[in-house]
Structure 1
Amino acid sequence: MREKALLRSLKNIALVMLVLNTSTMIAQKKNKKNKEDKTEQVKDSLKNSKGQKYDDLIKKGTFKKGLFNTIQVKTDLYLEINDSLFQREFLVVNKISNVPLPVNDAGLNKGMNYENKIITFHKDLVAKKVWVKSSVPKVSSPVGDAITASVNSNFSESIIEVFDIETKNNDSTSIVIKANKVFDGKQKSFNDVLSNIGFGGSVKSDLSYIESVKSFPKNIVVKSQLTTSVAEGGPALSVTIGVTSNIILLDKTPMPARFADKRVGYFSEKHWYFSDSQHAMLEKELITRWRLEPKKEDIEKYKRGELVEPKKPIVYYIDPSTPKQWRSYIIEGVRDWQAAFEKAGFKNAVIAKEPTEEDTDFDIDDVRYSVITYVASPKSNAMGPAVVDPRSGEIIESDIIWWHNVMTSLQSWMRIQTGAIDPKARGNKFSDEHMGEAIRFVSSHEVGHTFGLKHNMGASFAYPVESLRSPAFTAKMGGTAPSIMDYARYNYIAQPEDHVEAITPKIGEYDKYAIEWGYRWYADQTEEHNALNALIAKHQNDPVYFYGEQQDGDSTIDPRSQSEDLGDDAMKASEYGLKNLKRVVSKILEWTYDKDESYYQTGKLYIGAIGQWNLYNYHVLSNVGGIYLNTTVHGDNKQSYVAVPAAIQKRAVSYLLNNSIKLPEWLFFNPILDKTNPLKDSPLGPYEYTPYTLARELQYGILYSLLSDDRLLRITENELFQRNEAKENVFTVTQLFKTLHQNIFAPTIQNKSLTIMERMTQKNYVDVLIVSTNKLFEKTDAKKIIQLEETLSMPHLCDYLDESKMARNINQSSLKRVSEVTSDKKGELNQVLQLLKTKRNIGNQETRNHYFDLIQRIEKALNNTL
């Protein structure tokens, strides 16, 4: 009985299981059918969405094949996206194509790249949408590591745009979206031109439109005219800016990255690395460079050291709007880099040419073409930025912007720096040949940036000052510094009797070394790492290969790495420079003579000469409280921080007292002033500086910088670390103040009546001490001084990117109120006060009035800061 009952129970269970399984199978089939039906419904809805079938849409418009097939129906732009392109990475590159006068006047011009971003497209058939996401690709982790899941979650993409799916193609391998809104200014997701150029506001859609579209195998180019309204203290002004948006398909596998080394100057992209084996995240920087590789059939030749042509050379096109007389010089400036790339193993790696009839698709705004764009603008500059794949640092394209008025800067530099030794550099207008050679130098400099090279402001320190007076040395080295990436302009050191002819910057040994380090190809990563380190080690003790970062000119720490300087001794170089400058000033009226013309050119050249004098002052000034900053690694036996020797600092102070604080009369009070004041261009026309006012303000600026808190703190810190050195080997704040005091107040100590200039110097000195101990005045007056220095500074190229902001950050000035600086400055004020009280009744009336004024100022200042 039990067995039968058990058997019946088993049969019942089996029957129940059979029913359940059958029901499950029926349900699964039903669900599958429902899903299939739903998919078909989605497909059908795509076929007929908004009543537009694919074939009908093409019949209505203009169809072009490319990366995205484009369909233009009247004013509507449709993009057809193939299924293979979804979730692929694209780079959006936005450039300015044309501008009206107000934008041009603001310094924005054709060819300038203002916004790049990585995007991906994602198809959603259920919602009938295409989602566009963007990311910052600076994070990597190994496939298979556990942490990779966390990396994906914590560094995910963000949705920036969505499109409706309009229809699909006939074999359902692509879908079509309407893309107007991201190109005509309605949406900022792909192109936010106004925010990126600093205008703000929004685009007026009714006054904006898509101008044209081109589609190629790996990119599309969409040009638009976008209008906004700008009101700057007056009636609203309509401003239309032509923009070009390129969408580029990036390679699935990025170019192998090369990691930056601070001892070689390359621009770089930061990257974070995560892995399971780490104890902490690894941060590295990828240098920016072109993808130069030997052809497959040439790899063995390359490894043997033979020169080979790269698989894909770097090609620059000359803008057809470039004046014909300058084209060959610009091309030669590019070709001059061939020798540097041969050091990296490649011949014919760099090509510059004018577009020909064979370049049927040539378009300056197309990222397939790197162009040296010539810009009609009053701006005096040139720059060489690059479009970079942020995943690897690969340079995809470069646009050198060449402003027409850059020649005004070149002419000013040559007249002031070489006019004393070169008759070709004296007149109001140079020959085309002479200007052409200057254009060639600037072309080489800017092209260097497009290879990824940063400024090397330390290169010029490699050459001894006296060697720059040698015809044999300068002819052999071929330039003013070992790197054209320095701001080592023209040879202002050579004297007329030296007969030096090689006075123009050239591509030098550092440039060749840097290109070899950045571009030599290696098949193996370990081999690359070892070879690059060995290359640096081979040259680390040779000053010709030294790399010095660009610094903030207002707070230079390392005097070796300065803009516009020459040679290894700023005092000696500046003394030679002053001799030549004095010759130039004596000839300004003669060189600028132009019958029946105004003295505009005279006043402009005159203020340029004053600016050059001021440049020498700051080259010297940086040695006071200076520190040599060395980029060191374990095992190189170098010191990272070395105080400028005391003897050099004392010589620097002596130079400043004799040539700067004591103002040169030949510069500020001369026959030129019978005809014109120094002139500086402004939006309202030439701006005149009277000599007394200009001299007073420039002297104030020198004293203010000399006694800046940061400089005094560096001197104090150096004294602390050199406390075991012999006394004569240490330069102190006390010595600085004692030297200045004895010199500036020498006529007072000697019981003399003071001249106007002597009274001016004493007032400036006392006021600097007062202001720099009073934060409110410091903020107000320091700003004015900085503005004046910027007004008189020599024009700089490449100011689109301030590399000094990327330099080393060294905190030396926190809690200054409890440092020695406050005591030192108040102590000096008290020393001056005691001297003036004993001399208050000595000298003529003007001198006694002056002492009375200073006594009151100092007493008030000391009482207010107690």
Structure 2
Amino acid sequence: MKEKAFLHNLITFCIFLLLLSPLTVQSQKKKKDRKEEATEIKKDTTDSKKGKKYDDLVKKGSVKKGLFNIIQVKTDVYFEIQDSLFKREFLVVNKLSQVPFQVNEAGLNKGMNYENKIISFYKDTIAKKVWVKSYVPKVSSPKEDAITQSVQNNFAESIIEVFDIETKNNDSSAVIIKVNKIFDGKQKSFNDVLSSIGFGGSVKSDLSYIESLKSFPKNIVVKSQLTTSISEGGPALSVTLGVTSNIILLDKAPMKPRFSDNRIGFFTEKHWYFADAQQAMLEKELITRWRLEPKKEDEERYLKGELVEPKKPIVYYIDPSTPKQWRKYIIDGVRDWQAAFEKAGFKNAVIAKEPTEKDLDFDIDDVRYSVITYAASPKSNAMGPSVVDPRSGEIIEADIIWWHNVMTSLQSWMRIQTGPIDPKARGNKFSDEHMGEAIRFVSSHEVGHTFGLKHNMGSSFAYDVESLRSKEFTAKMGGTAPSIMDYARYNYVAQPEDNVTVITPKIGEYDKYAIEWGYRWYSPNDNETTKLNAIIAKHQDDPIYFYGEQQENIIDPRSQSEDLGNDAVKASEYGLKNLKRVVDNILSWTYEKDQSYYETGKLYIGTIGQWQMYNRHVMNNIGGVYLNTTVHGDNKQSYIPVPAAMQKRATDYLAKNVITIPQWLFFNDILDKTNPLKDSPLGPYEYTPYTLSRELQYSIMYDLFSDDRLLRMTENELYQRNKTKDPVFTVNDLFKKMHQSVFAGTIANKSLSILERMTQKNYVDVLVVSTNKLFEKTDAKKALDIQQTLNMPHLCNYLDYAHMARNINQSSLKRVTEVTSDKKGELNKILQLLKTKKSTGDQSTQNHYRDLIQRIEKALNNTTF
């Protein structure tokens, strides 16, 4: 009975469930519908709030449409970033746009580009953030290779900034972020101006603000006023910098790179290549160049050899603040490059112009415009850097900085180097036409840098010295060297009787050759490398097309700055003849009634600086090595010691013109009126002739007997005598010649003059410094500092330290080389001579000998190894 009752109840319950089921499902459905309805209502409310917030921002502020729409509400700045721009690559370019006195005086000026970086924006919908990441775009690998995953993990992006997503636009195709902090100095992520210019410290945000904003289809421009404080031994000073940040959208596909060849001088970007098939990573360098291509419809004509206009020419704008009388010459200096680009197949490839009313958006700080910026500054210089896409080497924009006082350097060069042969170059002030032609040359040189060309310091070696005295040759070749990228200034070799008139550097054959190699366009089907090698092979045996890398320490005497011709001794001897003419006329050339002798003293010290420059040109042949960039199959020798005969002539020149101090240069009628003058922050600084001649002579001697130079001579002796029977100029030969010259009066038992005693003291002290580190800490540094104070003026005097001439290690373990023995041997030889002659000559000479004996004995006794 119990079992039947249980069964009956179970059946009844099941029937009840069956009857209840539709109601339950229906009820659950209603509940779900109500929940979804609530969700929709909530979503609609959120969207409504979102839309309202976006509309409120737009309504309250102003909107600038462009790459990012910029919304500005009072002092708050928002970027509206389209979804399509996330994960794209941008280049941040930061420039100085305004500087105060303190910064100007430090050599920093408007237009200087101080910091660039690649960034990408990433949207995080979960965290409601926008992340900004940056990376170094110098590593590549094929997408399909297994190693690519490792490349991505080992060269990953870094997060440099994060923004909250404030809202979305009305169709949710873009997000809005507030960006004040990256432009008003609170964050350094996008713009670290103080560290970049060497100030350090931090920006005072309460004294800084965003000044203006612009947005264009492919870039935005934000200008800010950023303030910091500096203190150098006195009260803190506020310094406000005007800075401009450009954010540029880069092309998805970078320009096809062109790989460098060390036989031609282009600036480069290093790049690493990884691939599965490799046995080692491949490192290459991409040359920096503009994207110069024929229009699609002109490609066949171009490949047939016809001149065509490029799809996009290179355009330079002249800063409106440039004085009107110089604008024409600066523009002409740019246009002079047309002939070089025609060699590469393009006509009208380079344009220079002043901005007009048609250039409505022109802004000197906008990276869409390459500008020759004129800087009001006491600095005497000019330089031509570029903004480069580091992924490919493509030059995006160029910034030539032209300092107002560059004309002081030009005037100094022309007066000293060409005054004897050109009456127009003698006065305290030149005509606008004469100065204009000099400005034109500088314009061409600096613009050459913005095409990617480096200095070619070896170009001037191509011309025979005697050819520079030929009116016909100089007129035909058009300048002082085959490249305007050399520091081959004005023709100081030509003599008055030569009647040479073409004396200014011009764009030459090397420049045209380099532009053709760097800019000739090839179709995708061409083997570009083969064609480029063919261009080099065609010219490799002609010295006109030689490229000589700029050197920090001169090893190859062919590649020096400010020199002319293929024989430094002969060129310098001609230069000295003209220098004597300058000295004879300094007082008359600088005469101005009722004016001080300031101009006289300035021209005088410049003349002495030119003499010292000739000395160095000659000296660097001693122990010099010709460094040739060679490749397999060219049958060239990579290292060629300077011929022994040339080294002997160079030593004789120094003995005649440095060991014997030139009286006509240091002791003349000019000293009745003024000493040589050098400008300083405290005013003109006077150098007395005895002090100046002593310190400059010491500087040459110190460098002449530097360990590195003597080690190169030892290396050459070791190698040459084992390989060839050619004469060798040895360290002993150098010491013998110098010893005979320095101690000629002593050997002849004569009483020595003040200058002769000075020379002997300098010689002994140089050798003592090399064997006694205690002295080296003082005197050696002093000599080098003195040399820096008298350097002739330079242009764009920056060195590309990453790409200097080849580094050759000849300096390790100097204490166990022949150099130490040779120097100590010379000191002992001098000591023995002085001991035998110590009682000869007058009282001053004998005092001098005893002094030297004590110095040498002390140095030799105190030397430890």
- The alignment's TM-score, normalised by the length of structure 2, stands at 0.94
Q: Which residue of 2 aligns with 1:634?
A: 632
Residues 240-279 of structure 1: per-residue CA shift (max 9 Å, x gap): 0000000000000000000000000000000000011111
Pair 1:122 & 2:104 matched: no
After TM superposition, list the pairs within 5 Å mapping 1:99-114 onto structure 2.
99-114=99-114
- In 2, the alpha carbon distance for the partners of 1:161 and 1:801 equals 34
One-letter identity of the residue aligned with 1:213: L
SS in 1 for 2:454: coil
Q: Which residue of 1 aligns with 2:460?
A: 460
After TM superposition, list the pairs within 5 Å mapping 1:98-247 onto structure 2.
98-247=98-247
Unaligned runs of 5+ in 1: 1-32
Give yes or no for contact 1:317–1:371 (8 Å, CA) kept in 2. yes
Give yes or no for contact 1:469–1:500 (8 Å, CA) kept in 2. yes
Comparing 720-729 and 431-440, the one that deviates more: 720-729
CA change 1:804–1:508 in 2 (3 A) is: farther
Given candidates 554, 570, 580, the residue that maps to 1:572 is: 570
Q: Which residue of 1 aligns with 2:659?
A: 661
CA change 1:720–1:633 in 2 (3 A) is: same
SS in 2 for 1:53: helix
Residues 607-632 of structure 1: per-residue CA shift (max 9 Å, x gap): 00000000000000000000000000
Pair 1:717 & 2:712 matched: no
Query: What's the CA shift for 1:800?
Result: 4.1
Percent of pairs with identical residues: 80
Query: What's the CA shift for 1:217?
Result: 0.0
Query: What's the CA shift for 1:808?
Result: 1.6
One-letter identity of the residue aligned with 1:834: Q
Given candidates 759, 762, 766, the residue that maps to 2:760 is: 762
CA change 1:636–1:38 in 2 (3 A) is: farther
CA change 1:853–1:218 in 2 (3 A) is: same
Pair 1:319 & 2:319 matched: yes
Q: Which residue of 2 aligns with 1:581?
A: 579
One-letter identity of the residue aligned with 1:224: S
Residues 427-467 of structure 1: per-residue CA shift (max 9 Å, x gap): 00000000000000000000000000000000000000000
- In 1, the alpha carbon distance for the partners of 2:607 and 2:193 equals 40
Count of paired positions: 833
CA change 1:423–1:74 in 2 (3 A) is: same
- In 2, the alpha carbon distance for the partners of 1:211 and 1:34 equals 50
Query: What's the CA shift for 1:644?
Result: 0.5
After TM superposition, list the pairs within 5 Å mapping 1:731-746 onto structure 2.
731-746=729-744
Residues 565-601 of structure 1: per-residue CA shift (max 9 Å, x gap): 0000000000000000000011000000011110000
- In 2, the alpha carbon distance for the partners of 1:612 and 1:52 equals 74
Given candidates 781, 792, 795, the residue that maps to 1:794 is: 792
One-letter identity of the residue aligned with 1:255: M
Q: Which residue of 1 aligns with 2:443?
A: 443
Pair 1:271 & 2:232 matched: no
One-letter identity of the residue aligned with 1:536: I
- In 2, the alpha carbon distance for the partners of 1:178 and 1:286 equals 37
Query: What's the CA shift for 1:789?
Result: 1.1
Query: What's the CA shift for 1:787?
Result: 1.5
After TM superposition, list the pairs within 5 Å mapping 1:5-20 onto structure 2.
none
CA change 1:39–1:711 in 2 (3 A) is: farther
One-letter identity of the residue aligned with 2:283: E
Q: Which residue of 2 aligns with 1:20?
A: none
Given candidates 845, 851, 855, the residue that maps to 2:843 is: 845
Q: Which residue of 2 aligns with 1:15?
A: none
Give yes or no for contact 1:549–1:804 (8 Å, CA) kept in 2. no
Give yes or no for contact 1:52–1:166 (8 Å, CA) kept in 2. no
Q: Which residue of 2 aligns with 1:518?
A: 518
Give yes or no for contact 1:550–1:804 (8 Å, CA) kept in 2. no
CA change 1:724–1:145 in 2 (3 A) is: closer
Q: Which residue of 2 aligns with 1:26?
A: none
Query: What's the CA shift for 1:524?
Result: 2.6
Unaligned runs of 5+ in 2: 1-33
- In 2, the alpha carbon distance for the partners of 1:740 and 1:813 equals 23
Query: What's the CA shift for 1:788?
Result: 1.2
Pair 1:607 & 2:581 matched: no
Q: Which residue of 1 aligns with 2:350?
A: 350
Query: What's the CA shift for 1:742?
Result: 1.1
Q: Which residue of 2 aligns with 1:299?
A: 299
Query: What's the CA shift for 1:726?
Result: 7.2
Query: What's the CA shift for 1:773?
Result: 1.4
Q: Which residue of 2 aligns with 1:64?
A: 64
SS in 1 for 2:586: helix
Pair 1:76 & 2:76 matched: yes
Q: Which residue of 2 aligns with 1:393?
A: 393
CA change 1:44–1:669 in 2 (3 A) is: farther
Give yes or no for contact 1:550–1:803 (8 Å, CA) kept in 2. no
Residues 273-312 of structure 1: per-residue CA shift (max 9 Å, x gap): 0011111100000000000000000000000000000000
Query: What's the CA shift for 1:801?
Result: 4.4
- In 1, the alpha carbon distance for the partners of 2:623 and 2:420 equals 33
Q: Which residue of 2 aligns with 1:593?
A: 591
Residues 495-530 of structure 1: per-residue CA shift (max 9 Å, x gap): 000000000000000000000000000113752111
Give yes or no for contact 1:488–1:505 (8 Å, CA) kept in 2. yes
- In 2, the alpha carbon distance for the partners of 1:651 and 1:248 equals 57
Q: Which has the larger radius of gyration?
A: 2
- In 2, the alpha carbon distance for the partners of 1:36 and 1:535 equals 75
- In 1, the alpha carbon distance for the partners of 2:722 and 2:468 equals 38
CA change 1:168–1:675 in 2 (3 A) is: same
One-letter identity of the residue aligned with 1:194: L
Give yes or no for contact 2:659–2:741 (8 Å, CA) kept in 1. no
Query: What's the CA shift for 1:783?
Result: 1.9
- In 2, the alpha carbon distance for the partners of 1:638 and 1:427 equals 49
Give yes or no for contact 1:376–1:403 (8 Å, CA) kept in 2. yes
Q: Which residue of 2 aligns with 1:748?
A: 746
Give yes or no for contact 1:52–1:167 (8 Å, CA) kept in 2. no
One-letter identity of the residue aligned with 2:577: K
Query: What's the CA shift for 1:137?
Result: 0.2
Q: Which residue of 2 aligns with 1:689?
A: 687
Residues 193-215 of structure 1: per-residue CA shift (max 9 Å, x gap): 00000111100000000000000
SS in 2 for 1:523: coil
CA change 1:653–1:48 in 2 (3 A) is: farther
Pair 1:620 & 2:618 matched: yes
- In 2, the alpha carbon distance for the partners of 1:294 and 1:481 equals 31
- In 2, the alpha carbon distance for the partners of 1:186 and 1:585 equals 58
* Superposition RMSD in Å: 1.9
Query: What's the CA shift for 1:777?
Result: 2.3
CA change 1:34–1:99 in 2 (3 A) is: farther
CA change 1:261–1:706 in 2 (3 A) is: same
Give yes or no for contact 2:840–2:846 (8 Å, CA) kept in 1. yes
Q: Which residue of 1 aligns with 2:670?
A: 672
- In 1, the alpha carbon distance for the partners of 2:151 and 2:641 equals 44
SS in 1 for 2:797: coil
Q: Which residue of 2 aligns with 1:367?
A: 367
Pair 1:708 & 2:709 matched: no
Q: Which residue of 1 aligns with 2:777?
A: 779
- In 1, the alpha carbon distance for the partners of 2:40 and 2:473 equals 79
Query: What's the CA shift for 1:776?
Result: 3.3
After TM superposition, list the pairs within 5 Å mapping 1:809-820 onto structure 2.
809-820=807-818
SS in 2 for 1:676: coil
One-letter identity of the residue aligned with 2:402: W
CA change 1:725–1:272 in 2 (3 A) is: closer
- In 2, the alpha carbon distance for the partners of 1:562 and 1:733 equals 23
After TM superposition, list the pairs within 5 Å mapping 1:418-567 onto structure 2.
418-524=418-524, 526-552=526-552, 555-567=553-565
SS in 1 for 2:721: coil
Residues 7-49 of structure 1: per-residue CA shift (max 9 Å, x gap): xxxxxxxxxxxxxxxxxxxxxxxxxx99999999899768747
- In 2, the alpha carbon distance for the partners of 1:327 and 1:422 equals 25
CA change 1:480–1:44 in 2 (3 A) is: farther
Residues 74-118 of structure 1: per-residue CA shift (max 9 Å, x gap): 001100000000000000000000111000000000000000000
Query: What's the CA shift for 1:805?
Result: 6.0
- In 2, the alpha carbon distance for the partners of 1:37 and 1:310 equals 62
Give yes or no for contact 2:720–2:726 (8 Å, CA) kept in 1. no
Give yes or no for contact 2:91–2:116 (8 Å, CA) kept in 1. yes
